[in-house]
Structure formats: C-alpha cells, structure tokens
Structure 1
C-alpha cells in the first residue's frame, strides 16, 4: 500500500509541477501577445483556465493525502490521544464518503453529461475538463483509505503499548 501511495504521490507531484510550468509559459505568451502584438490568444487563456482547475483539484488531493491541509484542531488537541485517533479516523471516513459520493460519482456523471458539449476555442469535449473532479476524487478516496489504515495501525500499537505487550 505504501508503494502505491508513493507512486501516486510522485505522479500527482509531477503532474502539478508540469501543469504549473505549462501555465506559466501560457500566461507569459498571453501577456506578450496582448501587450506587444495587440492580438491576445483565446486558446492560451482558455487552456490556462482549465489547467488551473486541474491544478487546484489534484493539488488538493495531494495535500489531503499528505495530511497537510488546513484544519481547525483546537477541540481535537484537547482530547486524550486514544479519542483523538478515533476522531481523526471519523474525519477520514466522512471525507472519504464525501469524495465517493460527490466527487467520484457526481464528477463521473458530470463528465458523461459534458462529453457531448465541445469548448468553442479549444474544440475539446468539456467532459475532459470535468474528468478532473472524478479523478481527483479517486485520489482522495485512496488517500483516505490509506490514512485510515495508518491511523488504525497507530491505534493498535498504542493499545498494545498500554497493555504492556
């Protein structure tokens, strides 16, 4: 499971890095064509918008997987360690359920519905853009399951330590 997670982390990391690099080049080109040639490119503008959406969704999945996302932990820090782990597991379960229901299922349905509509400037089906919702949702579900397994392992190790095993 850790090998799969490491591979997924590297794929998402590189996807986000490459996407950010491409966006930088596209925006630079957009500025050059707008201000120096007085002829802005509609293609680069639209492509940058879509890449930004993908960057946000995949970046959010990556940060969630690393457990580096913003969290309000005031109440959680006041709890004893054993209850804190239960709360953390419950949070992961709720996020996983949300990701399955809204992102994976809803994103998949949106992707299918939008495949018939093409973008005017790029000519690609809008479903390609919407597919980022379902795919990033799959990443979040995987990370959620992995985090639950990791937290459960810590809970078992703590219980064994308390029992003196």
Structure 2
C-alpha cells in the first residue's frame, strides 16, 4: 500500500511540475507577446488560472501525505502523550468531516456546471470543480487511513504522536 501511495504522490508531483511549467510558459509568453508585438493570447489568463487551482489542490494532497501542512503545536506539545493522541484523533475526525463537505460541494458544482463552458477556452467549467473532488477524495483516503492507525495506536497503547 505504501508503494502505491508513493507512486500516486510522485505522479501528483510530476503533474504539479507540468502545470507550473505550463503556467510559466503561458504567462511569460503572453507578456512577451504584449510587450514586443502588442498582441497576446486570450486563453492565457483563463488556462493559467485553471492550472494554478489544479496545482494547488494536487500539491495539497502531496503535502497532506507528507504531513507538511501548517500546525499549531504550542498547546498540544504541553499535553501528556495520551492528550496529544486525543487531540490528533479530534483533528483527524474534523479534517475528515471538512473533506467530506468539500467533496460533496465540489461534486455538486461539478454536476451543476457540466453544461456551462468557460468564456474563452470553451472548456466545461465542471473540469475546474473536479480539482476539488480529486483533492477531497484523496484527502479522505489519506486521513481515513491515518485515523485508523491513530485509533489502533491509542487502543493498543502505542505512543506515536511526536512532540514538536
């Protein structure tokens, strides 16, 4: 399972790099065209915005997998080990619930916007909201697995919560 998750995250990292490259090429190319040739690509702004949103959501999955999101440890670090584990469980259950809200909302927007096209590119706007679906589903799988491990650790007496 770990190998599959590692492969998935490497794929997401590669997609993020490609999206970043695409954004740089679109925006820089548009700047050059406007400055030197007094013209530009109409599609540049729209596509670069879509690429940015997708890159952020895909990168957030990788950050979640690597436990790289911001955290506040000032209070939690002062708790005993069992208190840190309880706080971790509360945080994981909360994140799972919030991810569910994001998934259901993004899926609703995906369905609502299937017949709506973007003004310049003509792409279905639903593809924009699909990024939230991909993130939320991936996050729920990652958080769910972490929640199961944390629950088992608490039940069986393992002390695995780091003190930062």
Same fold flag (TM > 0.5): yes
List alignment gaps of at least 5 residues for structure 1. Answer: 160-165
Q: Distance in 1 between matches of 2:34 and 2:157?
A: 60
**TM (normalized to structure 2)?**
0.88
Aligned to 1:128: 127
Q: Deviations over 1:75-128 (max 9, x none)?
A: 11011112212211221111011101x211110010010111101110111001
Aligned to 2:79: 79
Q: Distance in 2 between matches of 1:47 and 1:87?
A: 41
Q: Distance in 1 between matches of 2:146 and 2:12?
A: 17
Q: CA deviation at 1:15?
A: 1.3
Q: Deviations over 1:46-87 (max 9, x none)?
A: 100111111112212221221110111111101111221221
User: Runs (4+) of structure 1 moved beyond 3 Å?
Assistant: 152-157
**Alignment RMSD (CA, Å):** 1.6
Q: Distance in 2 between matches of 1:152 and 1:34?
A: 57
Q: Distance in 1 between matches of 2:145 and 2:5?
A: 8
> Which protein is richer in helix relative to its size?
1
Task: Say which is worse superposed, 107-116 or 89-98, in terms of deviation.
Answer: 89-98
Aligned to 2:69: 69
Number of matched residues?
158
5 Å-filtered alignment, 1:3-82, equals 3-82=3-82
Aligned to 1:105: 104
Aligned to 1:162: none
Q: Distance in 2 between matches of 1:4 and 1:152?
A: 23
